[in-house]
Structure 1
Amino acid sequence: MNRRPAVTAAVLCLLAATVATAAPASAGAPAPSGPPTSSAGPVAATDASVSLHGTGDTVLGSGFSTFEGDPVQFTIDARADTLKPSETTRGHFHVRHVHTDGRLVADFEGDITCLAVGGREAIATGVVTRGEAPWFPGKPVVGQKVALSVEDHGRHGDRIGWIWGFFGAPVSDCQGTVPFIRTTGGDFTVRG
Structure 2
Amino acid sequence: MSRRSTVKTAARVAAVAALCLAATVAVVPANAEPVGDTSSAARVRGNAGATLTADFPGFEGDAVRFEVDARTEVNSSPAHGSGHFHVTHHRPDGRLVADFEGDIGCLAVGGGTAIATGVITKGEVPWFPGTEVVGTKVSLTVQDNNGRADRLGWIWGAFGAPVSDCQGTVPFIRTGSGGFTVRG
- Give the TM-score taking structure 1 as reference length: 0.73
Change in 2 beyond 3 A, CA 1:103/1:151:
same
**Residue of 140, 143, 147 corresponding to 1:151:** 143
Output the CA distance in 1 between the equivalents of 2:97 and 2:174. Answer: 20
Q: Secondary structure at the match of 2:85?
A: strand
Output the CA distance in 2 between the equivalents of 1:87 and 1:95. Answer: 22
Q: Secondary structure at the match of 1:166?
A: helix
**Contact in 1 for aligned 2:98/2:127 (Cα 8 Å):** yes
Counterpart AA for 1:100: P
Shift of 1:48: 6.8
**Contact in 2 for aligned 1:48/1:83 (Cα 8 Å):** no
Task: Provide Cα deviations, 1:50-98, integer angstroms capped at 9, x if missing partner.
Answer: 0000001001000111100100000000000363237852100000000
Output the CA distance in 2 between the equivalents of 1:103 and 1:179. Answer: 26
Is 1:61 matched with 2:53? yes
Q: Secondary structure at the match of 1:123?
A: strand
Residue 168 of structure 2: aligned partner: 176
Output the CA distance in 2 between the equivalents of 1:48 and 1:104. Answer: 35
Output the CA distance in 2 between the equivalents of 1:106 and 1:50. Answer: 29
* Structural mapping, 1:91-110, within 5 Å: 91-110=83-102
> Which stretches of structure 1, 4 residues or more, deviate above 4 A after TM superposition?
none
Output the CA distance in 2 between the equivalents of 1:87 and 1:146. Answer: 15
State the percentage of identical aligned residues: 60
Larger Rg: 1
Change in 2 beyond 3 A, CA 1:86/1:191:
closer
Consecutive unaligned residues of structure 1, counting only runs of 5 or more, are 1-46
Which of 1 and 2 has higher RCO (CA within 8 Å, sep 6+)?
Answer: 2
Q: Tell me the matched-pair count.
A: 146
**Residue of 152, 155, 159 corresponding to 1:160:** 152
